[in-house]
C-alpha cells in the first residue's frame, strides 16, 4: 500500500511538471501512427496532399481519409488568459491542416482529441498556425494562434526534427549488444548528452526499457552518477535504480554520496531508491534526514521499515508532526510514518494513530489508519 500511494504522489508531481495540456510536436512525432498535411473536404474527410509520416504498415487509404471527430473541432479563435491575442472571435476560413494521427477502433483520430479540440490537429491559414490549447487539464480546448511554432515553415521544421529523433530512438531499440544499448539509453537521461537535446520525449521512455538490461543497466547508471557535473539532473537515473531494486546495490555508495550534494536530485528520490534496494548498512546515514521536511521524513521512515531497523522507532515517533500542525497535504506523509512504526512493531503506534484520527486534514486516510488502532502490532 505504501508503494502504491507513493507512486501516485510522485507520478502526479512528475506528470504535472513534465507534460503540458498541449502536446508538443516532438511528443506527437514520437506517438503518431501517421502525419498528414491536407485540406478538409467534408465534415470528417480530408484530402491528403502529403504523408509526412506514412503508416508503419505502408498502408495509405487513397488520397482522401476520414478523421473521426474532425467535425467537433471548434474553428472560432478564442481569447488568451492574458488578453494578448487580437484575433479572438474570428472564425478560421482556411481548411488546410497538419494532423498527427493515431489509429483507434473507429479509424484515424487526431492525437489527444477531447471535446472541441485536440493537440494533434493544427490549422494553417495564410502560412500561420493555429492550435488548440488548454488553460488547465482537464478543461476545454481553445483555438489560438500558435506561440511556439507560429508559421507552417517553423512547424514543419519542428516535425522534421521530431521525426529525426524518432528514427534515432528506433535504431537504439535494435542495438544487439547489451552494454552498447545501455550506454545509448543512459545518454538520454542527461540533457547535455541526450540525442534529443532538451526534449524529454524519449527520456521518459528509458525508464521502461533500461531496467530490462539488468547488470549492464546498473553499470552504466553508476558511471552516469560518477561522471555527473553541476547542472545535471539525476532524478530519472535514480528512479531507474529504484526500479532495479536489489540488483542496483553497486550504486548504493553513489546514492549516499549524492545526499551530500544538493542540486542533482531531491533527497526523497534518493532515500526512496535506497529503501527499495534494501541495503540496511546505510540506515545510519539516512537517519539524520528525519529532521528535514515532512515528505523526506516520511521516506526515511519507510526505508527504516524496509530495513527492519528497530533502533529507528523512537526517532520516527519523535519526527511525527504535531497533530494540530497537520495540513491537508500532509496526510499521506503522516500515514507513511505511522505505517512504518506499525511494521516495525512499535507499541506506541496505536496511541499515536489515535491522536491523528479526528484531525480534519487526515479525513482522506482515516480508513488506512484503522489497522494501526489495535493495541498489538506485528513484531
Which residues are 139's β-sheet partners?
none
Chain centre distance of CA 190: 16
Mean pLDDT estimate for the chain: 90
Work out the average pLDDT over 88-109: 93
pLDDT of residue 28: 98
- Report which listed range, 52-66, 129-143, 244-258, is most confident: 244-258
Q: Which three cell numbers stand for residue 378?
A: 506485528
Q: Does 66 or 375 have the greater pLDDT score?
A: 66
pTM for the model: 0.85
The Cα-based distances of 251 to 66, 246, 270, 273 in angstroms read 52, 10, 11, 10
pLDDT of residue 14: 37
Work out the average pLDDT over 224-235: 96
pLDDT higher than threshold 70 for residue 15: no
Chain centre distance of CA 309: 32
Burial level of 227, CB count in 10 A (0-12/13-18/19+)? exposed
pLDDT higher than threshold 70 for residue 89: yes
The rounded distance, in Å, linking the Cα atoms of 5 and 191 is 29
In percent, the amount of the chain with pLDDT more than 90 equals 80
pLDDT higher than threshold 60 for residue 20: no
pLDDT of residue 376: 52
* Residue 84 pLDDT grade (very low, low, confident, very high; cuts 50, 70, 90): low
Q: Does 53 or 376 have the greater pLDDT score?
A: 53
Work out the average pLDDT over 217-226: 98
With beta carbons less than 8 A apart as the criterion, state whether 265 and 233 touch. yes
Chain centre distance of CA 177: 28
pLDDT tens, residue by residue, 299-322? 999 999 999 999 999 999 999 999
pLDDT of residue 282: 97
Helix (H, G, I), strand (E, B) or coil at 151: strand
Residue with cell 481519409: 65
* 135-149, 220-234, 352-366: least confidently modelled range: 135-149
Helix (H, G, I), strand (E, B) or coil at 15: helix
The rounded distance, in Å, linking the Cα atoms of 21 and 41 is 29
Q: Which three cell numbers stand for residue 281?
A: 548498512
Work out the average pLDDT over 83-96: 84
Amino acid at each position: 500500500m505504501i508503494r502504491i500511494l507513493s507512486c501516485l504522489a510522485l507520478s502526479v508531481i512528475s506528470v504535472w511538471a513534465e507534460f503540458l495540456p498541449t502536446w508538443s510536436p516532438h511528443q506527437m512525432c514520437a506517438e503518431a501512427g501517421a502525419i498528414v498535411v491536407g485540406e478538409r473536404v467534408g465534415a470528417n474527410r480530408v484530402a491528403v496532399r502529403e504523408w509526412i509520416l506514412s503508416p508503419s504498415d505502408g498502408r495509405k487509404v487513397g488520397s482522401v481519409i476520414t478523421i473521426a471527430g474532425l467535425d467537433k473541432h471548434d474553428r472560432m479563435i478564442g481569447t488568451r488568459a492574458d488578453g494578448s491575442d487580437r484575433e479572438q472571435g474570428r472564425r478560421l476560413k482556411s481548411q488546410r491542416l497538419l494532423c498527427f494521427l493515431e489509429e483507434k477502433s473507429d479509424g484515424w483520430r487526431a492525437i489527444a482529441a477531447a471535446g472541441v479540440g485536440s493537440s494533434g490537429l493544427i490549422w494553417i491559414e495564410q502560412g500561420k498556425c493555429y492550435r488548440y490549447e488548454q488553460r488547465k487539464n482537464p478543461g476545454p480546448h481553445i483555438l489560438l494562434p500558435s506561440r511556439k511554432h507560429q508559421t507552417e515553415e517553423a512547424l514543419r521544421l519542428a516535425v522534421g526534427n521530431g521525426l529525426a529523433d524518432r528514427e534515432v530512438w528506433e535504431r537504439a531499440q535494435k542495438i544487439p549488444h547489451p552494454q552498447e544499448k545501455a550506454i545509448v539509453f543512459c545518454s538520454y537521461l542527461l540533457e547535455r548528452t541526450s540525442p534529443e537535446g532538451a526534449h524529454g520525449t524519449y527520456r521518459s521512455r528509458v525508464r521502461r526499457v533500461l531496467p530490462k538490461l539488468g547488470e549492464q543497466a546498473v553499470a552504466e547508471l553508476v558511471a552516469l552518477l560518477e561522471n555527473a557535473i553541476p547542472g545535471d539532473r539525476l532524478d530519472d537515473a535514480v528512479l531507474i535504480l529504484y526500479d532495479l531494486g536489489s540488483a542496483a546495490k553497486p550504486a548504493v555508495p553513489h546514492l549516499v554520496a549524492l545526499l551530500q550534494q544538493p542540486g542533482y536530485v531531491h533527497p526523497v528520490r534518493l532515500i526512496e531508491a535506497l529503501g527499495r534496494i534494501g541495503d540496511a548498512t546505510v540506515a545510519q546515514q539516512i537517519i539524520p534526514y528525519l529532521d528535514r521536511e515532512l515528505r523526506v521524513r516520511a521516506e526515511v521512515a519507510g526505508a527504516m521499515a524496509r530495513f527492519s531497523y528497530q533502533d529507528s522507532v523512537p526517532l520516527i515517533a519523535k519526527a511525527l508532526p504535531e497533530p494540530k500542525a497537520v495540513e491537508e497535504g500532509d496526510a499521506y506523509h503522516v500515514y507513511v510514518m505511522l505505517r512504518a512504526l506499525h511494521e516495525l512493531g512499535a507499541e506506541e503506534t496505536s496511541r499515536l494513530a489515535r491522536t491523528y484520527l479526528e484531525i480534519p486534514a487526515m479525513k482522506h486516510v482515516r480508513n488506512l489508519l484503522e489497522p494501526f488502532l489495535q493495541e498489538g502490532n506485528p513484531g
